[in-house]
Structure 1
């Protein structure tokens, strides 16, 4: 059985008993493993996990999809809340200093609140994924090095990496996504899809040859225009995706389009939502 519990997300839970914030954190139970996928912005996911009956001390590993504060910001709180974190899994380049250009012309640091030394000092094993596919178990795998398969999912030039004073547009080469094999097909978990949700999904389909049954997480359609959203929905149909459970950086227009496309198979993945197969 696969169970994915959303510990924290931008939107409040249905009963208004959990903390919500701009960020994402998921507790994944699959193939005999308990996996934390992203840690939100502040660490408030820890208290939500307790309310939801998810014991963070039992996780086999913590995965952070990319080095932005709203996905990695709660890692310090996690470390301080459990006896040990067995392993941190990130994509190669995760520890680069990430920034963005603001509307007022200033810049803002939007990267991690910790560095590699912080993790190593606490004797947490670090796995930096360089491979195209890294298997956690036979049926749970991480994907990296996504192929660009279209012209309309462009990198947002407001995001940049500071390398020794040089500002380089962030290509999000550190981004990783999770795939879980189920009887119904592959369930893909995405953090923010900065490299393009279709680039991610089409790369995964090409590498595995498996049908994609469902997509969960953030699809970063928040800045997308109507044409890109329409092309995304057409590609989802072509891929044969049956269910989506998205929100976070998907944006209101992207959510509306997906709700219309998938109808009863659309899940508004707010805090506290549980996705099961």
Structure 2
């Protein structure tokens, strides 16, 4: 049995939930419970209580990448869990910035993890940093660093890292997703898919040897990318024939609307309180 419940998202899907700019999911697979990301710290604990997700049952936290909206809630959940293993890429603490233009003004702000590693370890975090595809528990895999192979998935030019006294585009090499094989194919849970949803899915298929993609859930970052990349991504995704496409967070409403048009009854919003069950 596999159940994925969305605890943090920009939009609330059910009464009494709290929305925020961020993402987190509560993953239950057989006897294993894992927290995937921790949101931006506004609603994760309250939403877990509201939707019946016992954070104390989670033995591990998996981080999709080092942005604030996936990690700011860590100081709230780490003490609740106790001494969780925190699985992430070695580059998770990279200094990061986001840039946007407001009229003639360019605004740049820090968007990396707002907490030092030492502080999180004092709270009880036990970091397990790996860059390759690996199994963290029976039937639960993390992609680690995803090879960038598709010609059309170019990343977000507004995400920056310091470089030689200036800034350059952040490739977000620490971006990783969770891969959950089932009897009907792979369920792939993404935080933001900065590596590209197609790169991620192709790598998951190659790494597991399972070609069927049963479900794609979570953030896709398609809302911040070009319309052409959205169309190319949808075409490639359709060729994989997923049963479910359930999007959250950085997908954005315009991109989600196009995905809904494309996938019809196979499309779902993955908002706060949404729960997905796979046998």
Range class of TM-score, shorter chain: over 0.9
Query: Of residues 85, 88, 94 in structure 1, which corresponds to 2:86?
Result: 88
Identify if the C-alpha distance between structure 1 residues 33 and 163 changes in structure 2 by more than 3 Å, giving closer, same or farther: farther
Identify if the C-alpha distance between structure 1 residues 240 and 83 changes in structure 2 by more than 3 Å, giving closer, same or farther: closer
Runs of 4+ with >4 A deviation = 163-166
Following superposition, the deviation at residue 163 of structure 1 comes to: 6.0
Instruction: Give 2:158's aligned residue.
Output: 158
Identify if the C-alpha distance between structure 1 residues 73 and 208 changes in structure 2 by more than 3 Å, giving closer, same or farther: same
Encode CA deviations 1:231-273: one digit per residue, 9 max, x unaligned: 1111012122221111211122221122122212211111100
Q: Does 1:135 align with 2:135?
A: yes
CA contact (8 A) 2:59 2:81 kept: no
TM-score by length of 1: 0.93
Following superposition, the deviation at residue 177 of structure 1 comes to: 0.5
CA contact (8 A) 2:57 2:81 kept: no
Instruction: Give 2:41's aligned residue.
Output: 42
Instruction: Give 2:270's aligned residue.
Output: 269
Q: Does 1:99 align with 2:97?
A: yes
Gaps of 5+ in 2: none
Following superposition, the deviation at residue 165 of structure 1 comes to: 4.7
CA contact (8 A) 2:155 2:171 kept: yes
TM-score by length of 2: 0.93
Which deviates more, 151-160 or 90-99? Answer: 151-160
Instruction: Give 2:2's aligned residue.
Output: 2
Identify if the C-alpha distance between structure 1 residues 59 and 230 changes in structure 2 by more than 3 Å, giving closer, same or farther: same
Gaps of 5+ in 1: none
CA contact (8 A) 2:156 2:225 kept: no
Following superposition, the deviation at residue 13 of structure 1 comes to: 2.2
Secondary structure, aligned partner of 1:149: coil
